[in-house]
Structure 1
Amino acid sequence: MAITLHNSNLKLKIETPGEKYRGSRFDWNGTVTQIWYKGKKMLAGEKMLFHRNNKIFGRGLHNEFGIKHCVGYEDIPIGEYFPKIGTGWLKKDEKPYFFFTQYKLDVLDFSWQKVSDTKAIFMCDSGIRNGFGYRYTKTIELKDDTFQISYNLENVGEKKISTTEYIHNFLLPAKKNIGPHLELAFNWEYDKANLLENVKTENLIDFTANGLKYQKTPDVEYFLGGVWEARKDKNFGQNGKWTLTDSASGIKMSETASFVSFHTDVWGHKQCVSPELFIWLDVEPGQSKDWNRTYSFEG
């Protein structure tokens, strides 16, 4: 059963592990599936309305570990199990790892607690297989017009954990289709020519010095890869942040990371814009790593 957190201006719906999503890609360990800010919905999904399957596709603020740098896949033989953090143990097949594949899944041991109307904690313990093992805790807490998602990843295995984590922020303020009323900005300037990928943005997106504006409502899926890597000043020691401004509703929503971005993408479609700040994680056996993301609202 979903958990609801709330204060005077914010309400969050958080899906408990295995409640609906049961795929082998995204994190199960507590997922914010909807945000209401002053009564207005802010989130959508990986697929457009009427094309969604909540069991296998992402929704809301759905995070993922190891979309490309998957832990342990190259270290084990076909038929053995590798860890997908926060998801489960996945059975390796004969092909290279691919995040869209629905792997055979052994589910983790999950637990959770609603501490108060403004705080919830989600936990999972992987056990140890093939030398890998971890404990992973996610804490979600509201304060005024912000909430923070805090992470702790403890390596309890014998092998180093090296991977990425990011949130697919499926944003759709006030349930209004993506369009010219929206502007996305990062806290750095970047050079469009130096993007690693720029897919289907012609006649759709106007590029600003530090972000983008829409010319119209998208009729295709679009993608910008490597927005962080394309930054002009090459100051790669700055923590990442994005801000989405909605002139139609007067709402601003932002995510501020506690870490230096390893990589940044933007993806979306007619009913979604998804800015993605990646963190790189190196966690030695017996060590742990903490990081957080703070979401703020104005308007």
Structure 2
Amino acid sequence: MTRPIWLFPAALCALAPVLLTADDFPQRAIISRQVQAKFYLPDADRGYYRGTRFDWSGVMPSLEYKGHQYFGQWFERYDPKLHDAIMGPVEEFRTNDAGLGYDEAKAGGTFIRIGVGVVRKPDDKPYEMFHTYDIVNTGQWSVRNGTDWIEFTQRLQDASGYGYVYTKRVSLDSGKPQMVIEHSLQNIGSKTINTTQYNHNFFVIDHQTTGPDVVVEFPFTPQPDRDLKGLAQVSGKDLKYTSTLEKGQSLLAEMKGYGETKTDYDFRIENRRSGAGVRIRGDHPLAKVVFWSIRTVACPEPYIQIEVKPGKREKWKYTYDFYLLPSASGGNPAE
């Protein structure tokens, strides 16, 4: 069944909502023996997501493994330019908590959002993470795919001296329930690219509410930087909810306690009621870890640091292993 989406463009709010369906957005799907995933494609005119916060590639409205759904719509209000109207293991690049060249750009000038394009800096105010800026140039996007993989490439060259070729390849393993997100960032400009990247991991496992059935496992003992407001507690290396989150409640904390090697980029999130879990690993050391959740979604957000000098290329990848808990599968979680 295709779910309708109510879209409220600003110019039409006073008139009537526009009813869209998922089929109205450019999309492709990939499938392996055990996992199937759907993607919305980058498109400046018709794309599902046209905001300036998140990288436009890899938007995933659905990933299914053995009847369990891992990603999907977690928000009520949709607008293609809303900063977080997006789904899946989507990513954001941040330089000084802004974009490439934001601090140097004058009011009315431009700066770069990797995975989005060249955007306008309207004034001299600090960068606003949740604001959608005017896009001047989206660069050149291309997408190609096979049965069990899809690859997105964006090429952008700007007069500011920043330029890059950014490629994201998402592939499903043919023999096991595993997804790998591989990245390549080639610097074709004259300025060094220095940025962090994080994956927001908008998990909505089986669309069940966030509460005691949801457990997040860290490879280190997490040390929240703020009070968890009685909504959750740290037990050993696990984050556990004390009650089901109500509408309007949220949990946000930066988690300290990780080391300097890539072995600490290794997280699990499980829904122990539905019996589905996922393990997430990265091949770079952590630069920061944030955890955020509301009633409909739970998000471990690991950051890494990336530096690419002119003429060089940096590569990194994230690996997702999907599994059923022993009570649901009769087996063991991903080793």
Do both proteins adopt the same fold according to a TM-score greater than 0.5, normalized to the shorter chain?
yes
Shift of 1:14: 1.2
* 1:4-43 deviation line (CA, Å, top 9, x unaligned): 1111221111111022101111111232232111122112
Q: Which residue of 2 aligns with 1:145?
A: 177
Q: Which residue of 2 aligns with 1:109?
A: 140
Alpha-carbon separation, structure 1, partners of 2:40 and 2:316: 21
> Could you tell me which amino acid in structure 2 is paired with residue 52 of structure 1?
Y
2:305 to 269, 280, 284: 280
Q: Does the CA-based 8 Å contact 1:81-1:129 persist in structure 2?
A: no
Where 2:71 maps in the other structure, the secondary structure is: coil
Identify if the C-alpha distance between structure 1 residues 129 and 39 changes in structure 2 by more than 3 Å, giving closer, same or farther: farther
> Could you tell me which amino acid in structure 1 is paired with residue 129 of structure 2?
F
Work out which of the two has the higher radius of gyration on C-alpha atoms and give 1 or 2: 2
Alpha-carbon separation, structure 2, partners of 1:189 and 1:4: 38
The answer to whether structure 1 residue 51 and structure 2 residue 77 are counterparts is yes
> Which stretch shifts more, 76-85 or 284-293?
76-85
Q: Which residue of 2 aligns with 1:76?
A: 105
Alpha-carbon separation, structure 2, partners of 1:52 and 1:223: 22
The answer to whether structure 1 residue 134 and structure 2 residue 164 are counterparts is yes
Where 1:73 maps in the other structure, the secondary structure is: coil
Q: Which residue of 2 aligns with 1:261?
A: 286
Shift of 1:203: 2.5
Q: Which residue of 2 aligns with 1:236?
A: 260
> Could you tell me which amino acid in structure 2 is paired with residue 217 of structure 1?
T
Identify if the C-alpha distance between structure 1 residues 55 and 13 changes in structure 2 by more than 3 Å, giving closer, same or farther: farther
Alpha-carbon separation, structure 1, partners of 2:203 and 2:277: 12
* 1:53-98 deviation line (CA, Å, top 9, x unaligned): 3442222222111171521111222211111000111111221112
Where 2:165 maps in the other structure, the secondary structure is: strand
Shift of 1:133: 0.7
Higher relative contact order (CA 8 A, sep 6+): 1
Where 1:174 maps in the other structure, the secondary structure is: helix
CA RMSD of aligned residues (A): 1.6
Alpha-carbon separation, structure 2, partners of 1:89 and 1:141: 28
Identify if the C-alpha distance between structure 1 residues 62 and 222 changes in structure 2 by more than 3 Å, giving closer, same or farther: same
The answer to whether structure 1 residue 93 and structure 2 residue 119 are counterparts is no
Q: Which residue of 2 aligns with 1:164?
A: 196
2:215 to 183, 201, 225: 183
The answer to whether structure 1 residue 292 and structure 2 residue 332 are counterparts is no
> Could you tell me which amino acid in structure 2 is paired with residue 110 of structure 1?
W
Alpha-carbon separation, structure 2, partners of 1:89 and 1:131: 12
* 1:114-157 deviation line (CA, Å, top 9, x unaligned): 1x211111101012221111110000100020010000001111
Where 1:137 maps in the other structure, the secondary structure is: strand
Alpha-carbon separation, structure 1, partners of 2:132 and 2:88: 20
> Could you tell me which amino acid in structure 1 is paired with residue 135 of structure 2?
L
The answer to whether structure 1 residue 211 and structure 2 residue 241 are counterparts is no
1:120 to 145, 150, 153: 150
Normalised TM-score (structure 1): 0.91
> Which stretch shifts more, 254-263 or 64-73?
64-73
Identify if the C-alpha distance between structure 1 residues 123 and 166 changes in structure 2 by more than 3 Å, giving closer, same or farther: same
Q: Does the CA-based 8 Å contact 1:76-1:130 persist in structure 2?
A: no
Alpha-carbon separation, structure 1, partners of 2:148 and 2:131: 36
Q: Does the CA-based 8 Å contact 1:44-1:271 persist in structure 2?
A: no
Shift of 1:178: 1.0
> Could you tell me which amino acid in structure 2 is paired with residue 65 of structure 1?
F
In structure 1, the gaps of 5 or more residues are none
Alpha-carbon separation, structure 2, partners of 1:29 and 1:252: 24
* 1:218-240 deviation line (CA, Å, top 9, x unaligned): 12021011x1xx21xx6322431
